[in-house]
Chain A
Amino acid sequence: MSEPWYLDDNALERELAEAAGADLPAVAGYTDLRELGRGGQGIVYTGRQTTTGRTVAIKLLPARAAGARQARFERELDLLARLSHRNVVGIVDSGATADGRPFLVMELVDGPTIDRMPDVATWAADRGDVAARDRIVGLMAQVCDGVACAHRRGIVHRDLKPGNVRIDHDGTPKVLDFGLAKDLGGALDDLTLGGASAAAVFLGSVQWCSPEQARGEVDEVDSRSDVWSLGMILYRLLADAMPFPPATGLHATLAAIVDLPATPMRQHRRAIPTDLETIVRHCLEKRADDRYQNAAELAADLRAYLAGEPITARGHSTLYVLRKTAARHRGAVVFAALLLVSLVAGLWLSLSLWRRSEDGRQRAVVAQRRAEAAMDFFADSLGAASPNRQGPDAKVLDLLRQTDLGLEANLVDDPDARGFILARLTDLYVGLSQIADAERTATVAAELTERSFGPDSPATFFAKANLARVHHVQGRYREVTAALAPLATRACELGIEHEPEVGHVFIVLGLGHLRLGEADAAERAFRVAEQVRGGDLGEMQMRAAVGENLAAVDAMRGDNKSAAARMRDVVALREAHAGPENSSTLDSIANLAYYLAESGDVAGAEGKVAAALAIARRRLGQRALTTLHLLNNQAQYLHRLQQLDRAIPAAEECLAGRSAVLGEGHPHTLVTRNNLAMMRLDRGDVDGAIAELEGIAAIHRRAGNGTALDFLGTRNNIARAKKQGGRLADAIVDMAAVLTDCETMLGADHWLTKACRATLGLWLCTAERHAEALPVLQRSVTELTADRGATHADTRAVRTRLHDTLRALGRGDEIPPEAPSAR
């Protein structure tokens, strides 16, 4: 095949020469006509005005002008004659050709259309060139001036698009093509044309048209429709993208304009200032009432932005938009959305309902709507997330980050809503082990809330507690109590300690104390939280949380049976209100199992955990915190059941997961590492286990943020490992040191202190250092009898060794006669 004609310069020039011979109209007074372009409303030529010699644009109707088209053309002529503005193309002349075809002569704008301006390309290529960006905004402000001039005369352009704005040789933007303009002052003319020729009339370019135009509501088209189109142009120029996903076909394009929310510009371009985003969003409100009312208002805000002054669009509630945005996807929520719903359900439901009962119906409606908006928003974002990443976690994370972006753009104006949704995001990040993200969102929420509502607002208390909760997850317990104790005191002074939001402070404070081994302080905090009263479901949530934490206090004091009993209630409560597959329910099952195991039913505990783990793997992902928690505990129970073949792989999987998700130094990672060391010890790998444990202790010592309990617990385990490795004398030295430190750091009453004392006594007895063993064992038996009862297995074991010691010291007569005999 020969070379295509257009690649051959000669052939191409022949075609160009031939094109010159195409029939050109004769317009009296103008010479040298050549075609400039053609559209639905007419063909535009350039020509030279014979009297002045200036080059102008001549718009001429096609040969067979239908009546309606001609009428419109004449109206344009009339409108343009009334418009005189430096940003609107000027009218020079008008008339009719010899054969009766009307023409209009306009000034020729010798420059590119606005979307082909150098600044637009510069800005599209260089995200840092904010000067180019602001020059675009400046030009658009001038475009708005031109349109505003028309609006003041009751004229609506109706076909604003980049192709209708040209930049003049001196850089002045000019609005062209008022050919479709509707004269609001005059009678509405009939836009419908009959016959096949109707197809030629392309009424505006659909992708720039407003929702009311897209719906065909001709009567509704007014200046605010132009504001929409100006917003579309701004969006296109600034974001280098269109606000709606590309659609094929007129119907899909129109449906997107009518129904879809505009993608925030900052999802395309991060370097869009919030105010600009707000301005454009305000233009692109679906309801004309919600937009700028005319181009002059838009121009004023664009200039306010350029001058760094406050814009008027600010303060406009975005929740309406948010709700609208979300409303359309209700039916199409994907699985991941369901997961998220379950994740956040707990907190937002309780919050919204607390608010309901607290502040009455009016506020309840607001809270409910806010909560719904948040949920819809999440569901919406989820629905749009890309599924082609590995695993559900990655997917959820993807869309969470998208959501986060969306928030920055969408919720700047409403601190209440933003704080609320940020709190939900924090929950989600925590649930997905994205602790750094959680801290970021929680910090922003706390600052925002305090700035918006003041330090003594319940909302501020809640936001600060939420941040402290993230610190708690990070293992920064001292910071938690240090931050929240003054808040708790302040809340009591203000008498708001029983408000739902403030209850959160006491819960998190109690958790901090709990982790620091401060049982009484923890219980005091939880008891305050228990007094929080609110709506039915909110109260349920609170009761579950308090029950869970009081169980932990029970356990800390050694009463695992009470703890397990409390947890059964909590699990039942959660199953009823959050569902059996909810992560909070699964967490509660893990805790129930823990107390069951502690009170002796290890097999029962393992069964519960295994079932919950299967659900968690499926619903939450392999590396969700809940999944890892369950895995850790299952490994523990298997260990205790002496199923090391299953326990060690489970512990290893958990350690890998926690190291990756939480980091090496996180207390939970260290707990798992500790457990794995103990399993290896049981396997006979004493040196390996000790090395592992020394490593943990070193991290505790170095980090300084681990708790005394964790640190001493590890040293306790090192001593145990040495003992198990046959190094009894070393083990005793270590354990004696741990006991001394426990008494100093945790106090004589702490369960670990007591456990260390019992262990030391047993070992001294084993080492036949009876004189040293005797006082230790005596005190231990007293403590154990008081804490666990005379018949508890531990109590009996220690008492037996006490009797052995007494006999060895020749003081067998001191053994009480009623005591059970030695084994």
Chain B
Amino acid sequence: MHSLSTHQSLLARLSRGDDQAAWSECFARYRDLILAVARRRGFAGADGDDVLQDVFVELGKALPRFQYDRERGRFRGFLKTITVRMIGRRLRQRGPDPAAGTTQATPEADEGPGAPDPEFEATWEAEWRQYHLRQAMATLRNEVRASDMRVFEDVTQGRREPGQIAAELGLTVNAIHQTKSRMLKRLRELIAAQVLDEG
């Protein structure tokens, strides 16, 4: 759905700061990741949307200065740092004076990422994997027949047994396994390409 550009060219566009479409694309790409991370840290629903908004406002301020240099994981670390900071800020705002907490993103002196939080690291990594999976699945959906996609999802997500699917479709179990294996391979390629592109 949002495969207009590669991640790298998206970053290049974002770092120019005035590219609304690039922002839309970036938002579409990372929204679910950030919302999921926020939810795991206790910000669900509207609270999650607030974190999401904070992160994007912050990204908007920081990205024009962001120099993409192919260092692996650079953007990923960058986005994580911002997300950690924004969640941290929301957590502090929740404390003493919730009423004063606004969604307004006024610039303020930042405290930095603070001490690494092992639990957060795990959360982030898990969500990052899901993020890549979603992207790759979206691409895969455009490449294969919906019926094949369905077989793949059913098998890998344990919705139905291969034997049951085979019987429904009049195929052999082996054919179902072959479909699954072929699509897993493609999925790996797609994710590998995404990871490479991400730098």
Interface residues of A (CB under 8 A from B): 4-7, 9, 12-13, 15-20, 22, 32, 34-40, 46, 55, 63-64, 108-113, 116, 163, 169, 195-197, 199-203, 205-207, 248-251, 253
Contacts and interface: CB of A to CB of B under 8 A. Distances in A.
Nearest to B21: A250
A111 B158 contact: no
Contacts of A12: 184, 187-188, 191
B141 A37 contact: yes
Interface size bracket, B side:
35 or more
Nearest to B31: A200
B13 A205 contact: no
B53 A249 contact: no
A207 B13 CA distance: 14
Kindly list the 7 A-B residue pairs having the minimum CB-CB distance in the complex, ordered from nearest. Answer: A20-B157, A202-B24, A16-B156, A6-B191, A199-B27, A196-B53, A110-B146
B22 A250 contact: yes
B160 to A, nearest CB: 10
Contacts of B153: 16, 20, 34
A34 B157 CA distance: 11
A17 B157 contact: yes
Contacts of B22: 249-250
A409 B52 CA distance: 50
Contacts of B126: 18
B49 A113 contact: no
Contact of A37 (B1, B16, B26, B144): B1
B67 interface: no
Nearest to B15: A249
Given A110-B147, A200-B27, A16 B133 contact: yes
Contacts of B147: 110
Interface in B166-195: 184, 187-188, 191-192, 195
Given A40-B24, A112-B144, A250-B13, 5 more contacts: A5-B129, A64-B46, A109-B146, A110-B147, A111-B146
A105 B12 CA distance: 38
B166 to A, nearest CB: 18
Interface of B: 1-2, 4, 9, 12-13, 16, 18-28, 31, 45-46, 49, 52-53, 56-57, 126, 129-130, 132-134, 137-138, 141-147, 150, 153, 156-159, 184, 187-188, 191-192, 195
| Main SS at interface, chain B | helix
Contacts of B195: 4, 6
B130 A196 contact: no
B156 A17 contact: yes
A19 B24 contact: no
Contacts of B4: 205-207
A395 B51 CA distance: 56
Nearest to B129: A15
Contacts of B25: 202
A17 B184 CA distance: 13
Contacts of A169: 145
B164 to A, nearest CB: 13
A19 B159 contact: no
A152 B90 CA distance: 52
B2 A251 contact: no
Nearest to B5: A248
28 contacts: A9-B184, A15-B129, A16-B133, A16-B157, A18-B130, A19-B130, A20-B159, A38-B28, A39-B28, A55-B146, A63-B45, A64-B49, A112-B143, A112-B144, A112-B145, A196-B57, A199-B20, A199-B27, A200-B24, A201-B24, A202-B21, A206-B21, A207-B4, A248-B9, A248-B13, A249-B22, A250-B18, A253-B21
Given A5-B129, A15-B130, A196 B56 contact: yes
